[in-house]
Amino acid sequence: MKKLASRQVLSAATTLTIRVASAGIGYVVQFALARVLGATEYGVFALAWLWVTIGGFAGCFGFSQTVVRFLPRYLQKGDLALHDAFLTVGRRVVALVSGVLALGGAAATLLAGGWAGAIAPFLIAAACVPVFAYADLLEGMARSRGWLSLAFIPPYILRQLLVLGFVAGAYSLGWPGTAVTAMVASFAALVIAATVQHVLIMRRMPAADTPKRSLRRVLPLWLRSGGLLFLADGARLLRTYGDTIVLSAFLPPAAVGIYFAATRVASVLGFVEYSVSAAMGYRFAAMAASGDRRALARRAAQAVVVTLVPVLVGGVALWLLGGFVLGLFGQAFIAGTTVLPLLIAAQVLRAAVGPADDLLNVLGRERWTFMSQLAGLLVNVATGLLLVPVLGIVGAGLASLAAMAATTVILGTGAWLLLGSHLRSGGMGGGRPQPQDAASP
C-alpha cells in the first residue's frame, strides 16, 4: 500500500509540476495581454474567453469525466469492444452538443449586439467552443489511462506558448491591441494544440479486435451519467463564473478586467486540487471496480490532506504577494487587491474536501455533484445581484466565497455519507472487498 501511495503522490506531483509550469506561462500570457490590450479591451477578451470555457466544458456533455469512470473498468475487464464503443459515442455526443451550443452562442451574440459594443470577439468565441470541447474530451481520455503528461502538456503548455507567440507576432506586425486580435490568436492556438493531442493519443489507444456488442444495456447508463454531469458541469461553470457574469451586467469592461485578473491570480491555488484529482480519479475508478471501499476511503482521506496543506501554505504566500503579482498586469489592476483575499479564501474552502466530486462521480453519485454545484450557482447569483450593485468587485468576491461554501458543504457531506463508515470501522487497516457498484456495466 505504501508503494501505491507513493505512486499516487508522484502522479499528483507530476501533474502539479505541469500545471505550475503552465500557470507560469499562463501568467506571462495574461500579463502580456493585459498590457497590450489595456483594462477595457482585456475585460472584453476575458468575458469572451469565459464563454468559451463555459460552452467548451458544457459541450462535453459530461463525457470528459465519465470517460475516467468507464474506460478503466472496461480495460480492467479486457472489454475493448465497449471501450471502443464508448469513445465513438463520446465523440459524437460532444460534436453534437458543442455544435449546438456554438450556433446558439453565435445567434445570441448577433441578436444581443455583443457586449459593450463588441460583437466579433464573441463570434470567434462561439467558433472556439467545439474545439475546446473536443480538447477536453481528449484530456479525459488521456487521464483515464494515466497518461498525465499527454493529458496536460498540449492544452496547458503548448496552447499557452502558441498564444504567447501569436500575440507577440501580431504585436510586432503592428496589429491593433484589441480583444479581436487576442481571440484570433487563442482560436489558432486551440486548434493546433488539440490536433497535436489528438494525433498523439490516437497512436497509443488500443484498437478493439473483438466483434461489436449491443449498446442497448450500456448506452442509457452512459447518457444518464453524462447528462447528470452535463448539468453538474453547467452549474459548476456558472457557479464559478457567475460572479463575473453578474459583474459584467452592472460594471464597465475595465472593472471586469480587474476582477478577472484577480481571479486568475487566486486560481493558481486550484491547480493543487486539480492535480490531486487528475492523479486519483482513474485510481478511484479502478478501486471502486475492485470493491474495496475501505481502501478507497483511506485514499480519499489522504487526498484531502495532500490537497489542503499546500493550498493553505500557498494561500498565505499569495495573499502576501498579491499586490505585486497584480501589478504585473498593469497599474490599474492593483485595485484587485481589495477582492483577492476573498478569492483565496474560496480556494482554501474548496481544498478542504479534496477531489470529492471525482470520488462521487466514479461511484455513480453524480446527483450529489449536481446538487452541490446547483446550490453554489444559486447562492452566487443571488448574492451577486444583491451585493455587486453596492460593493462592486468586492461584492462579486463575497458572492464567490458564499457559493464555494455552499458547494463544499454538500460535496463533503456526500463523500462522508458514502465512505465515512468505512473510515470509522476500518481505520487504516485492510478490509474485505465490497460488492461492485450496481450501476456499473
Cell 489522504 belongs to residue: 302
Is 298 inside a domain boundary?
yes
Count CB-CB contacts under 10 A for residue 337. 18
Is 188 inside a domain boundary?
yes
The DSSP letter of residue 158 is I
Is 438 inside a domain boundary?
no
Q: What percent of the chain has pLDDT over 90?
A: 34
Is 71 inside a domain boundary?
yes
Over the stretch 50-78, which tens digit does the pLDDT of each residue have? 999 999 988 988 888 888 778 777 777 77
Range of the domain at 84: 2-425
Is 435 inside a domain boundary?
no
User: Which of 396, 214, 271 lies closest to 19, judged by CA?
Assistant: 271
The DSSP letter of residue 338 is G
Is 147 inside a domain boundary?
yes
Domains: count for the chain: 1
Cell 462561439 belongs to residue: 126
Over the stretch 347-399, which tens digit does the pLDDT of each residue have? 999 888 888 877 787 777 778 888 888 899 999 999 999 999 999 999 999 99
Is 439 inside a domain boundary?
no
User: Which of 36, 15, 69, 119 lies closest to 329, judged by CA?
Assistant: 36
Q: How is residue 102 written as a grid cell?
A: 456554438
Report yes or no: 246 and 19 within 8 Å, Cβ to Cβ: no
Distance CA 382, CA 376 (A): 10
Query: For 363, phi and psi rounded to 5 degrees?
Result: -95, 10
User: pLDDT-based confidence at 433, cuts 50/70/90?
Assistant: very low
User: What is the mean predicted confidence (pLDDT) over 194-209?
Assistant: 84
Q: Percentage helix, strand, coil, to 5, in the chain?
A: 85, 0, 15
Q: Is the pTM of this model over 0.85?
A: no
Count CB-CB contacts under 10 A for residue 99. 14
User: pLDDT-based confidence at 162, cuts 50/70/90?
Assistant: very high
Is 437 inside a domain boundary?
no
